[in-house]
Amino acid sequence: MRRALCSLAACLVAWCQAGAGEDVVLGTKVGTVDVQLFIPGEARVLRGLLVHAAHYKLSSTDRWAEVCRTLGFGHVALNINLKETNRPVKLRKALDEGLKEFAAKSAHPELVNLPFAGVGHSAGGLVSPTLLKTPERTLTTCVSCGWIADPAKLTPEAAAVPHAFTLGAIPDDFKMLPGIEANFLPARKQGRPWGLVVQWECAHDWGNSAAFFVPWTVAVAEARIPKDWDPLAGPPKLNEMKQEDGWLGDRATVDGNFATVAPWADYQGDKALASWFPNRYVACVWRAMMSKESPVVLELAAADGSAKLAGYNPKADRTVMVNHGLDIVLIAAVKEGFGVKGVAFYDGDRLIGEATQAPWQFTWKNPGRGPHAVFAQWTAPDGKHGVSNPALVVVRSGGPPSARPSSLLGPGARAGYNAAAVSRDHRGGRS
């Protein structure tokens, strides 16, 4: 992911001129669907769209807004009454018509040409059938606690789109876990670039899904969007993601704290049973996501105390947003009685720093803007390694949210808009 962000930053030079403009939020209604669009002020020409469908309240200051700033993307939120029928068709119609309207009223005519990346939790899984009506324009879909798509019911083009899933390991009333055997494994046996995380102590919970979905989305966008594409000239011909170009995770080794990951060519297990990832960074994050009952917990805070990661809760989101320019103090909290002889802190596959003695602490100097999936890797006295569960650290691209200019236009951009809102579906999850 680090390499992806560096390359993306180089591309952004072409889109962002000196000084960021105003953030813009546009809104409209198409039939029974509310459509809102966030456009980062930094992006003179957008490169793609992040899409939420169902129960996501748009924000110009949350983690997804910062991901969009990193990628040069806009962010679309579609909302519909879930009691309605034929929802994916209505959502897609609203997406297409809303973008045409926004392209006409904004300084972004490229909106009608942009590729999509979808993300959602539970009912938000509607984003997949909504976007996959045009697989040639769909970068990826990331769904938490939604039914895993049946590859037999997808077109070959839709099945070839990279799909990421997170599910809770605790069975619930929705009975989604059987979809691993019924749908995920058949897709992998067909060579589809699909990835899966099972969150050990979650049921129908968003949990820590963002720590996996964000780097996945960044990596896929970096790989699939042609570097020389002009968004003003028409839709891109997206690069294909072949499973041979990615990494694999051994799902048979997840009952511990250091699951096996390897590039495709070096993987020793049954590749058809493995989880797939777009690059090494995401593979390392998956390993941290799958760490079971870790005796080491990552703690972190901005050096000035302005931001702090909440205490560990396996069902809770582990995202913290930090203002740019601040150092971050990383701590590996070790369970009493567990032996550790060294700790290394990682941003995906990139070493941040090491601690050789208690209190197992390292100060991360001025981390770069954008998202970072961070975890602690320990070495036990016997030389074996393990990793903590990750946290998503999002370093804001500018100053504090209150200092960022914004402009709200259109009927969906009403007075009293809550820029710090988060999404919640009908079961109370976050995405």
Q: Are 208 and 315 in contact (CB under 8 A)?
A: no
Q: The domain containing residue 304 runs over which residues? A: 296-396
In a domain, 238, yes or no: yes
Neighbours of 381 (CB within 10 A): 9
Task: Identify whether residues 187 and 87 lie together within a single domain.
Answer: yes
Residues 263 and 203 in one domain: yes
pLDDT at 21: 83
Does residue 6 form part of some domain? Answer: no
Cα separation, 175 vs 145, whole angstroms: 10
Say whether both 41 and 111 belong to one domain: yes
Q: 340 and 274, same structural domain?
A: no
**Domain endpoint, select from 274, 290, 306:** 290
What's the pTM value of the predicted model, to 2 decimals?
0.90
Instruction: Give the containing element (helix H, strand E) for 9.
Output: helix 2-15
Domain termination site, one of 249, 265, 290: 290
Same domain, 141 and 279: yes
Q: Which residue has the tokens 């050789």?
A: 356
Q: What is the pLDDT of residue 10?
A: 41
Residues found in the chain? 431
Residues 185 and 123 in one domain: yes
Specify the 3-state DSSP secondary structure of 224: helix
> The domain spanning residue 217 has which CATH number?
3.40.50.1820
Nearest to 146 by CA among 90, 229, 46, 213: 213
Q: What is the pLDDT of residue 20?
A: 58
- Is residue 333 within 8 A of residue 299, CB to CB? The reply is yes
Contact 5, 368 (CB under 8 A): yes
Residue 205 lies in a domain: yes
* 405 in any annotated domain: no
Ramachandran class of 312: left when φ > 0, alpha when ψ lies in -120 to 50, beta otherwise: beta
The number of domains in the chain is 2
User: 305 and 274, same structural domain?
Assistant: no
Question: Is the domain of 60 the same as that of 175?
Answer: yes
What string of pLDDT tens digits covers the 431 residues of the chain? Answer: 544 444 444 444 333 433 458 999 999 999 999 999 999 999 999 999 999 998 899 999 999 999 999 999 999 999 999 999 999 999 999 999 999 999 999 999 999 999 999 999 999 999 999 999 999 999 999 999 999 999 999 999 999 999 999 999 999 999 999 999 999 999 999 999 999 999 999 999 999 999 999 999 999 999 999 999 999 999 999 999 999 999 999 999 999 999 999 999 999 999 999 999 999 999 999 999 999 999 999 999 999 999 999 999 999 999 999 999 999 999 999 999 999 999 999 999 999 999 999 999 999 999 999 999 999 999 999 999 999 999 999 999 875 665 444 444 433 332 222 222 223 232 334 57
Please tell me whether residues 60 and 150 are part of one structural domain. Answer: yes
Same domain flag for 145 and 59: yes
Structure tokens at 396: 């804001």
**Do 387 and 244 sit in the same domain of this protein?**
no
| Residue at which a domain ends, from 233, 266, 290 | 290
- Is 423 within a domain? no
Q: 388: domain CATH number? A: 2.60.40.10
CB 123, CB 82: distance < 8 Å: yes
Q: Is residue 15 in a domain?
A: no
Amino acid 370 reads G
Q: Look at residue 84 and tell me if it is in a domain.
A: yes
**Are residues 262 and 163 both part of a single domain?**
yes
